[in-house]
Structure 1
């Protein structure tokens, strides 16, 4: 996958979890990586790890639910690193609860981060890709979008919306050689998952129950997703667009 060398990639939420693994992999492949993260201090630690191995990573403190901030950071990235080849919309957030026990303020926050934010990113980045007749977008969705998840109804709706949006824009921009795909993780050992499960005996029971439903008999690790994301950014994936690829240990074979 050496044809990523020297190309510019943006990874949202690239400071920890799946985003960190993606950032490190793209930097190792030779990308100049721009990390957009609401916690720039954590992202800077990831950037330093990549730099120690010869990677080039810049960090921008960005709230992706703020369209003006997104536009500014995208313009700054292109001014400092060059034209954007690959956009990875990875940033996400959820607070699981039964839908009937939630209200609009929580819905609005989940939607602003998981749906509106990625839309702002597409709107800011895609015109440049179209003008250059080339680019790649990988949206990190979720298998929750494909099968539904109890206590994550609004989050699942956002991720389902991202899959539909990705397919629609993939159709619109195929003639411009701008390819868009989704990667759909299953249950994964990330800080967000740990905050959902909590700690203690009950948390271990929930984790064990999830693992029993996965044919490969383990939860995902952040590094399990970095390779497919990098692949989708290369010329090896130049005939793949509009797809939602499940990476879940075989949990959801749909």
Structure 2
């Protein structure tokens, strides 16, 4: 069982949304130190007020799509003698539009933040965890990693990649007896600014507070996968049992998956990387 109390946690995208909520909960559970990485200086300044009174918090403005910046920030942590016990790869963006509407820069940026950044940061921190014989890596994937969703092609691709990599990493860590745990999180749409405008017909949007709480409970229990809500667990089974057209009918005509992104707006910063990122509710 992973012990949060007394450990050091690093959360990417940790100054807003569920990242901020998880940071607060980690401090309330007795984490000795919380390291918050976020690309938005505005979000970082806004996060100081709720987090600073709860314990030792270090904020750093890091663009995780910049591998050089990620490695430099990790080197700074190591030089300061700060071991990371819990890594939560939470930062992510959504560019919700048809594939032909994507610019090449959209594709590169989404894959760099949603997929590559997780791998590079984990690769940089993993040797220390293995050397200490303990550690926990949490990778936030998505239910979109289990189903094809129109207007989410690049996002879905990035999360399918995360899911496969994350569980492969888990098996490697377990087979080698490293003591490092890996948890893959696959949530449905979360009711934050990241998915502003999403419509869900039968399944309610997930509430950020509950999502953050359940992720940390999964950490404490060393869960391999966390599906939210539980019905998400059925997607691989349905894909295996139903012909493709029948699965399309169930998902699109009954659950409305195909139209869920029709009115998607998302965060301004996800649509325009040069804009000031708003703080998620």
> Which range, TM-score by smaller chain?
0.7 to 0.9
> Matched residues in 1 for 2:104 and 2:138: separation?
29
> Matched residues in 1 for 2:227 and 2:38: separation?
25
Aligned to 1:203: none
Contact persistence 1:220–1:249 (CA under 8 A): no
How does the TM-score come out when normalised to structure 2? 0.76
Shift in alpha-carbon separation, 1:181–1:133, aligned structure 2, 3 A: same
Specify the structure having the higher radius of gyration (Cα).
2
SS in 2 for 1:109: helix
What do residues 141-168 of structure 1 show as CA deviations (whole Å, max 9, x unaligned)?
A: 1101111221011110110110100111
Contact persistence 1:134–1:177 (CA under 8 A): yes
Q: How does 1:72-111 map to 2 (within 5 A)?
A: 72-80=72-80, 82-111=82-111
Contact persistence 2:90–2:140 (CA under 8 A): yes
Unaligned regions of 5+ residues in structure 2, if any? Answer: 236-281
Superposed CA RMSD in Å reads: 2.0
Aligned to 2:213: 227
SS in 2 for 1:4: coil
Shift in alpha-carbon separation, 1:169–1:3, aligned structure 2, 3 A: closer
How does the TM-score come out when normalised to structure 1? 0.84
> Matched residues in 1 for 2:79 and 2:48: separation?
19
Unaligned regions of 5+ residues in structure 1, if any? Answer: 198-205
* Cα displacement (A) at 1:252: 6.0
* Cα displacement (A) at 1:251: 5.7
> Matched residues in 2 for 1:193 and 1:47: separation?
24
Shift in alpha-carbon separation, 1:125–1:17, aligned structure 2, 3 A: same
What do residues 182-226 of structure 1 show as CA deviations (whole Å, max 9, x unaligned)?
A: 1112111112112xx2xxxxxxxx53xx0x321xxx311211222
Contact persistence 1:213–1:251 (CA under 8 A): no
Shift in alpha-carbon separation, 1:64–1:39, aligned structure 2, 3 A: same
> Matched residues in 1 for 2:232 and 2:168: separation?
26
> Matched residues in 1 for 2:232 and 2:179: separation?
32
- Is the aligned partner of 1:244 residue 2:225? yes
